Structure 1
Amino acid sequence: MNYEFFIAKRIIGSKSYKSSVSAPIIKIGIAAITIGIVVMLIAIATGLGLQKKVREKVVAFNGHITISNYDSNVSNESIVPISLDQDFYPNFNSVEGIKHIQGVATKFGIIRTETDFEGIVLKGVGTDYNWSYVQEFLESGSLPVYEGNLSNDVVISKYLANRLGFNIGDTFQTLFGKESVEQLPFQRTFKIVGIFNSGFNDIDKNFMIGDLSHIQRMNKWEKSQVGNFEVYLDDFTQLLEKEAEIRSNTPSLLNTQTIEERYRTTFEWIKIFDNNTYGIIAIMIIVAGINMITALLVLILERTQMIGILKALGSSNWSIRKVFLYNATYLICLGLFWGNLIGIGLLFIQQQFELLKFPDPEQYYVSVIPVHIGLDYIILLNIGTFIACLLMLLIPSVIISKISPVKAIRFE
């Protein structure tokens, strides 16, 4: 054991240390680090949680990457069909990290009731559709089963159900336009078997999910034709990389588009939370560092005589600085311990019991404040805070080299 660590340990364990003038200031320094870690953990966990939750909702109904025909159509309606007879369908074996691929189509329509009407987009899905992504958002009823025969069962959003007064088991008529405005529209009768609530307005206000066969018949497509393909990935962080790989492994006549490109405004909005989080982390580390600097300066002034004696005995300035840095390290670790204990505890309670909710769920796309507890960012945050505080303490410790042994020993 080196003697600097030995002296620092004796100082920390002494009763005079705990009842000294510096004790309240030391406690304030520890409290600053504790509060800082708690605030930073909450900021990161809620920021990542909100990003993850919104991203999951958008992806669940659209896929990570869309493969479609090149055309000038900017609406939500599928115009030019794509054949299912593709090398990448039903299994995209040429690209790793593809979880699932499915063929879908969309068509604009108007729901008509005796007292009201509402514009919607029918999303037609087939036997290859993976309902597990929608299952999480199903509030009542059940998911339809499409086995290749024409089915009138649909799933609509809670928003549309409340807006039009629909319940499970109700039937309604929907009108779909034809190629010529002079022709009478297609009329289809659908039955509600399930109601979902994604909390995402762009989806809830516009989409209902039904049988792909309806769109194929109205558009006079073959059974082997769809509007586009939705591709689901194993890892969202590889979105751009996989989009490039998929593009290079699909015919040149087909276009690929990521979910970030389709919902650019939404993803730009959730990225703002990163800037807010970085700002909070910087402020908290600075505040904690300043409090620790104050505590260290008080410790140095309180131990001036000890510093003089150690210098008189031949200790170097760096050795004495190490004594106080060891002491400060103990205080920082103590603050980190309590900060992690309280912060992770609060996050775990919110994750399990969902006590805190957003006052305006429509603004944030979720009703409950989501949290994401990840070991990676917790470790990085603690290491970063520890190093930052310790580096900030190197500056005030320089004052030790300015202390004269003779004056220090006589210091009272």
Structure 2
Amino acid sequence: MRFPLYIAIRYLFSKKTHNSINITSLICAGGICVATIALVCTLSVYNGFQSLITGLYNAFDPDLKVSLVEGKTFVCPPEQLNKITTLENVAVVSEVLEENAMVKNKERQSTIYIKGVSSNYIQLIRPDSILTAGQFLFEDNGTDFTVIGAATAAVIEGNVACISPIYFYAPKHDTKINMANPEKSFNERAAYVSGIYAVNQQDIDSRFAFCSLDFARGLFNYNNQEISSLEIKLNVNGKVEKIKEQIQTILGDNFIVKDKHEQHEEFHRMLKVEKWITFLILFFILLIAVINVIGSLTMLIIEKENDIRTLSCLGANDKTIKRIFLLEGWLISATGAVVGLFIGLLLCFLQQQFGLLRLNDGGMNEAFIVDNYPVVVNGLDILIIMATILTVGLVIAWFPSRYVGRNQG
């Protein structure tokens, strides 16, 4: 292998008799280089957006969430709850009741997702990182309070300075709507706005209204033990999969335990599909660039007919000669890929450090939560890109090199 590789490297960097061969080889390597840069940068930007959005969701997502496989609410027996709470590396277990409702402030209204939580819920999240006004307070001296998202607050014109409460409405269970007096078909509860949160994600900022568990149970006509889920925070060194299995064993097959990723499985699946569809599109562009190696290698084989005869006379067999040109074609692809990888990683580094490509233009009406395109380089992506290019380059180089020696001699 050392001899064919040595000759292939000499052919790669030596000046050819016909300058067009040098130009063609350079164009081939350049095309592969550009395609590699596009693959590295595009996939890294996808990783950046995925990391950014996942971080936003993580502001509310527990480490583990327990809910029914079928059904909406359940009662968790105290002995089971105590077993979960006392598991090693379980830091907080909060009872939660979630349901759709309508929120109204004077003449302005919006649909909302009520999230009634137990008193220890504040230990499960980082309220200081998401609160833009007020505090996480749900009850004080018999008065009910709620924390709403910034988008919801803008729609209903509610804020912590309001001296009047906002009202929540939910349909009564097993009751038909009275068309003559629709309000009689709904439960109504009032609460003052104690805080406003924002994570700069429209889906989240317009979705939740946090309140006490008792407030939610009263609004939705549930008894004082019913909940829709358990949200669990683990210690830093907690092993998620191990604790998942332990909780599943305690509760049985009627329940499902989801980690952070599984709580938004559809979202992550969609991002992954989009990412690899983009990879395939760029791969076809790369394939066109790599196919040009066939032409460049064919021209080189024709030019080196005399060298092939000389090598044959010196004892090189057809297999060795074919291997020389196979490696030559592969080296063209590899050179373009390595240079493209270096430039792509350099661009990603510069984007991370200096924000070369901006999302916001610095004006007053900035629509994005970050100023620059987020970039995260994934080592596995780099391995896949390089393995793909080098494999395709080897296959493409095999086509012209297999004919070497048949017509020479």
TM-score range with shorter-chain normalisation? Answer: 0.7 to 0.9
From the superposition, tell whether residues 398 and 279 of structure 1 become closer, same or farther in structure 2 (CA, over 3 Å): same
Residues 155 and 192 in structure 1, CA contact (< 8 A), matched pair in contact too: yes
Q: CA deviation at 1:196?
A: 1.0
Correspondence for 1:195: 197
Correspondence for 1:409: none
| Equivalent AA in structure 1 for residue 230 of structure 2 | F
How many pairs are equivalent?
Answer: 386
1:155 aligns with 2:130: no
Partner-residue secondary structure (3-state), 1:346: helix
What TM-score, normalized to structure 1? 0.75
Structure 1 gap segments, 5+ residues each: 74-78, 406-412
Residues 52 and 374 in structure 2, CA contact (< 8 A), matched pair in contact too: yes
1:90 aligns with 2:85: yes
User: Counterparts of 1:18 and 1:167 in 2: how far apart (Å)?
Assistant: 79
Q: Deviations over 1:287-332 (max 9, x none)?
A: 2320222222222222222222212222212222333334334333
| Equivalent AA in structure 2 for residue 22 of structure 1 | I
From the superposition, tell whether residues 227 and 46 of structure 1 become closer, same or farther in structure 2 (CA, over 3 Å): same
Moved more, 207-216 or 57-66: 57-66
Q: Equivalent of 1:111, from 90, 103, 107? A: 103
From the superposition, tell whether residues 206 and 395 of structure 1 become closer, same or farther in structure 2 (CA, over 3 Å): same
User: Counterparts of 2:141 and 2:268 in 1: how far apart (Å)?
Assistant: 38
Correspondence for 1:277: 278
User: Counterparts of 1:272 and 1:365 in 2: how far apart (Å)?
Assistant: 24
Structure 2 gap segments, 5+ residues each: 176-182, 362-367
Q: CA deviation at 1:120?
A: 1.8
Counterparts of residues 20-31 of structure 1 (less than 5 Å) = 20-31=19-30
User: Counterparts of 2:231 and 2:340 in 1: how far apart (Å)?
Assistant: 43
Q: CA deviation at 1:190?
A: 2.0
Q: Deviations over 1:323-368 (max 9, x none)?
A: 3334334333321222112222333344453835499xxxx99997
Correspondence for 1:375: 379
Q: Deviations over 1:181-206 (max 9, x none)?
A: 858844322224232135252x3333
Counterparts of residues 71-90 of structure 1 (less than 5 Å) = 72-73=71-72, 79-83=73-77, 85=79, 86-90=81-85
Q: CA deviation at 1:146?
A: 7.1
Partner-residue secondary structure (3-state), 1:61: coil
User: Counterparts of 1:183 and 1:33 in 2: how far apart (Å)?
Assistant: 67
Partner-residue secondary structure (3-state), 1:188: strand
Q: CA deviation at 1:129?
A: 4.2
| Equivalent AA in structure 2 for residue 375 of structure 1 | G
1:102 aligns with 2:97: no
1:344 aligns with 2:336: no
What TM-score, normalized to structure 2? 0.75
Correspondence for 2:205: 204
Partner-residue secondary structure (3-state), 1:118: strand
Correspondence for 2:289: 288
Correspondence for 2:6: 6
Q: Equivalent of 1:389, from 370, 378, 393? A: 393
Correspondence for 2:231: 230
User: Counterparts of 1:354 and 1:133 in 2: how far apart (Å)?
Assistant: 32
User: Counterparts of 1:354 and 1:158 in 2: how far apart (Å)?
Assistant: 30
Moved more, 388-397 or 114-123: 114-123
Report the RMSD for the aligned CA atoms in angstroms.
4.2
| Equivalent AA in structure 2 for residue 45 of structure 1 | S
From the superposition, tell whether residues 121 and 401 of structure 1 become closer, same or farther in structure 2 (CA, over 3 Å): same
Partner-residue secondary structure (3-state), 2:347: helix
From the superposition, tell whether residues 160 and 290 of structure 1 become closer, same or farther in structure 2 (CA, over 3 Å): same
From the superposition, tell whether residues 302 and 135 of structure 1 become closer, same or farther in structure 2 (CA, over 3 Å): farther
User: Counterparts of 1:57 and 1:91 in 2: how far apart (Å)?
Assistant: 29
User: Counterparts of 2:44 and 2:345 in 1: how far apart (Å)?
Assistant: 9
User: Counterparts of 1:384 and 1:142 in 2: how far apart (Å)?
Assistant: 53
Correspondence for 1:408: none
Correspondence for 1:249: 249
Correspondence for 2:31: 32
User: Counterparts of 2:91 and 2:289 in 1: how far apart (Å)?
Assistant: 45
User: Counterparts of 1:252 and 1:68 in 2: how far apart (Å)?
Assistant: 11
From the superposition, tell whether residues 59 and 256 of structure 1 become closer, same or farther in structure 2 (CA, over 3 Å): farther
User: Counterparts of 2:69 and 2:36 in 1: how far apart (Å)?
Assistant: 50
From the superposition, tell whether residues 149 and 130 of structure 1 become closer, same or farther in structure 2 (CA, over 3 Å): farther
Residues 169 and 193 in structure 1, CA contact (< 8 A), matched pair in contact too: no
Partner-residue secondary structure (3-state), 1:399: coil
| Equivalent AA in structure 2 for residue 6 of structure 1 | Y
Residues 29 and 332 in structure 2, CA contact (< 8 A), matched pair in contact too: yes
1:173 aligns with 2:166: yes
